């Protein structure tokens, strides 16, 4: 069984919210490479 439209939209929104949260943390600590890698991974997932 695949995901429905509603489930896909929820998943997309949760990824967007997580990206926004991590970017806020990244602004406070710009040298944290782990945060930047996680943001890049989430953005890659979002583009798929």
The reported pLDDT for the residue numbered 5 is 92
SS3 sequence of the chain: CCCCHHHHHHHHHHHHHHHHHHHHHHHHCCCCHHHHHHHHHHHHHHHC
The reported pLDDT for the residue numbered 48 is 75
The reported pLDDT for the residue numbered 47 is 87
> Within a 10 A sphere around the Cβ of 19, how many other Cβ atoms?
19
User: What is the number of structural domains in the chain?
Assistant: 1
Rounded Cα gap, residues 37 and 43, in angstroms: 10
Rounded Cα gap, residues 19 and 39, in angstroms: 6
Give 1-48 pLDDT, tens digit per residue. 788 999 999 999 999 999 999 999 999 998 999 999 999 999 999 987
In this prediction the pTM is 0.81
Q: Which domain does 20 fall in, by range?
A: 5-47
The reported pLDDT for the residue numbered 36 is 94
């Amino acid at each position: 069984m695949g995901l429905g439209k509603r489930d896909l939209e929820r998943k997309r929104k949760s990824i967007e919210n997580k990206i926004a949260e991590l970017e806020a943390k990244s602004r406070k600590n710009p040298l944290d490479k782990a945060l930047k890698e996680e943001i890049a991974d989430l953005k890659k997932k979002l583009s798929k």
